[in-house]
Amino acid sequence: MALTPAELQKLNAMKLVNQMRNAGAHGRPGGTVAPTDRRAQRRLDQAAGLVPFAVKLNGDLIKQIHAQAAERKTGVNELVAELLQKALKK
């Protein structure tokens, strides 16, 4: 099924709007890191020895972690890793 030129323009405009809408979501908190696809990111994480580790935490604790990460201008992953290392050394 061939698209008309007007339909192609509309699709391109919608793609552009979605890209602009999602631009700030990557690389939080600054939003300046270029997005990578999930497979490439997974390979980079594995090469760095990172393993996904999901936990359920209280919402207030999550807010504190996010606030502290923003205050330090670092990522949540780095902050949680640092806090866990400190706690496990005791």
Per residue in 51-82, pLDDT tens? 888 999 999 999 999 999 999 999 999 999 99
Give Cα 81 distance to the centre of its chain: 16
Give how far Cα 7 sits from Cα of 12, 15, 18, Å. 9, 12, 17
Do residues 48 and 56 make contact, with C-beta atoms less than 8 angstroms apart? no
Mean pLDDT, all residues of the chain: 83
Least confident residue range of 17-26, 36-45, 65-74: 17-26
CA distance linking residue 71 with residue 60, whole number of Å: 16
Do residues 77 and 65 make contact, with C-beta atoms less than 8 angstroms apart? no
The pLDDT-based confidence of 32 (bands split at 50, 70, 90) is: low
pLDDT at 18: 78
